[in-house]
Structure 1
Amino acid sequence: MSPRALAVYDGSGIDGSLYTRVNGWAQSAPHWLNDVIKVWSAIGLGLFAVFMVYAWWRARGADSATMAKVLASPVIVVVAYGVNSVLKSVVDELRPCAQIRGSVSLETCPATGDWSFPSNHSVIAFAAAIALWSVSRRLGVVATVFAALMAASRVWVGVHYPHDVVVGAVVGTLVALVLAPLAGRCGPLVDRMRASALRPLLGTGAVPVVTHGYQPYGTRQH
């Protein structure tokens, strides 16, 4: 056996019993429910791209710092995915559907080499959701709910342990919490971009509120 094979990790000792319980629920669930969860698990990440487009559209009338965070949200997701890929290469954890006898996956169980820890889907979903929190609290709440549903679906379809998706959520959240505030500092760059040919795409920004009949202190004429 090669040294690489010896490094393969069995994560069933962490929460394999919980995975087995959830897998049992999935096996006894109605076919229509499993079909819905299977489709959501497979293509649901596209919804977060829709959230980002919606955030961009709304940010066209917002301040430049907000627009900077919106523009940075896809970058934040890519960085989070990159960080997660490093973790996957360090911890070569076998998929539970390949490790736990009697488990059934609703989608094809990934082959050895497509490691389980942490969950890419969970990382991407939570990185996108937390990045959107800095743009709109309401949108952030909605995106976070769907991120949790995405993470849960990966366990339900049988391709991840619960700890895979929990750690994935933590990784995505931490990366977004670090990078989103930094992106907000690029507001001056967005100001310059809004003054260029990109203005139709970036909007004019927030309009200052003017209170009629009032002049700020120091501006009154004597």
Structure 2
Amino acid sequence: MTVHPALQLAFNGSGIDGSLFTSITNFARDTKWLNTPVALWTNAGLGVFAVLMLMGWWNARRRDTRTMTLALATPVAVVVAFAVAEVAKKLVAEVRPCYSLPHDYFVGACPAPSDYAFPSGHTTVAAATVAALFLLDRRLSAIAAAFALLEGFTRVYVGAHYPHDVIGAALIALPLAYLASLVLGRIAVPLVARLRTGVLQPVLTATPAAHAAP
């Protein structure tokens, strides 16, 4: 997506919580033994949310059509939240901390100037998964919440985002993903009911088609 420069705020977020960011990156500097594990986790950890969504789908195969609809809506809701966050990122155009606070300690390499900071994309995915799973399976949502907190912290630890980038991502993703999942979980039930009795039956149900009632 290309946004006209006149619409971009070209925001410098260091004045909001730059001192807190520096405190966290100083902690990263003092715990260099953690740098590599955290740097690996901050990206690979997104796989945990994919696994949780898959678990939700797998469990829904043994439940009613409404539950399966929510399971299928979960990744769609995450994509919706991520897409909105990406639009916000282009509009706000907040420069990354490595450009605003170049003397701080950074675990990761500094991204391109056009790769903006607000909101955190990783945290958006994490928080959106929490919200979408809440309607499907509270236990899975609670697990996702714990990992989402870790994901948000690692984004600041490696120096990729300010704390407000992480908080802002959560504030955007949680309601958007919840509402998207709620709406899809209602309007898509008839479609999923038909799919559960068709060629996708083995994927969408673990019971005979006659038992997959809406």
The one-letter code sitting in structure 1 at the alignment partner of 2:54 is: V
**Residue in structure 1 matching 2:200, options 180, 198, 201:** 198
Deviation of residue 34 (structure 1)? 1.8
CA distance in 2, matches of 1:82, 1:95: 20
Q: In the TM superposition, what whole-angstrom CA distance separates every residue of 1:99-133 from its partner, at most 9, and x where no partner exists?
A: 11421221111120100011000101111121111
Q: Which residue of 1 aligns with 2:122?
A: 121
Deviation of residue 188 (structure 1)? 2.3
The one-letter code sitting in structure 1 at the alignment partner of 2:203 is: L
Instruction: Mark the runs of 5 or more structure 1 residues left unpaired by the alignment.
Output: 209-222
Contact 1:62 1:206 in 2 (8 A): no
**Deviation larger for 123-132 or 187-196:** 187-196
Q: In the TM superposition, what whole-angstrom CA distance separates every residue of 1:69-123 from its partner, at most 9, and x where no partner exists?
A: 1111111111111101110111111111221142122111112010001100010
**Residue in structure 2 matching 1:10, options 3, 6, 12:** 12
The one-letter code sitting in structure 1 at the alignment partner of 2:163 is: P
Identity of aligned residues (%): 43
CA distance in 1, matches of 2:143, 2:210: 24
Contact 1:63 1:206 in 2 (8 A): no
SS of residue paired to 2:150? helix
Contact 1:37 1:153 in 2 (8 A): yes
Q: Which residue of 1 aligns with 2:28?
A: 26
The one-letter code sitting in structure 1 at the alignment partner of 2:132 is: A
Please give the residue correspondences for 1:70-109 in structure 2 after superposition, counting only pairs within 5 Å. 70-109=71-110
Q: Which residue of 1 aligns with 2:174?
A: 173
Total equivalences in the alignment: 204
Who wins on radius of gyration, i.e. which is larger?
1
Q: Give me the TM-score of the superposition, normalised by structure 2.
A: 0.90
Contact 1:12 1:96 in 2 (8 A): yes
Q: Which residue of 2 aligns with 1:43?
A: 44
Contact 1:77 1:128 in 2 (8 A): yes
CA distance in 1, matches of 2:70, 2:210: 15
Deviation of residue 41 (structure 1)? 0.5
Q: In the TM superposition, what whole-angstrom CA distance separates every residue of 1:195-220 from its partner, at most 9, and x where no partner exists?
A: 11211111138969xxxxxxxxxxxx
Q: CA, structure 1 residues 206+19, in 2 after alignment: closer, same or farther (shift >3 Å)? A: farther
Structure with the higher fraction of residues in helix conformation: 2
Instruction: Mark the runs of 5 or more structure 2 residues left unpaired by the alignment.
Output: none
**Residue in structure 2 matching 1:187, options 183, 186, 189:** 189
Q: Give me the TM-score of the superposition, normalised by structure 1.
A: 0.87
Contact 1:91 1:117 in 2 (8 A): yes
Q: CA, structure 1 residues 167+153, in 2 after alignment: closer, same or farther (shift >3 Å)? A: same
Contact 2:11 2:93 in 1 (8 A): yes
Q: In the TM superposition, what whole-angstrom CA distance separates every residue of 1:163-207 from its partner, at most 9, and x where no partner exists?
A: 000000111101112111112212222221111121111113896
SS of residue paired to 2:27? helix
CA distance in 1, matches of 2:45, 2:137: 21
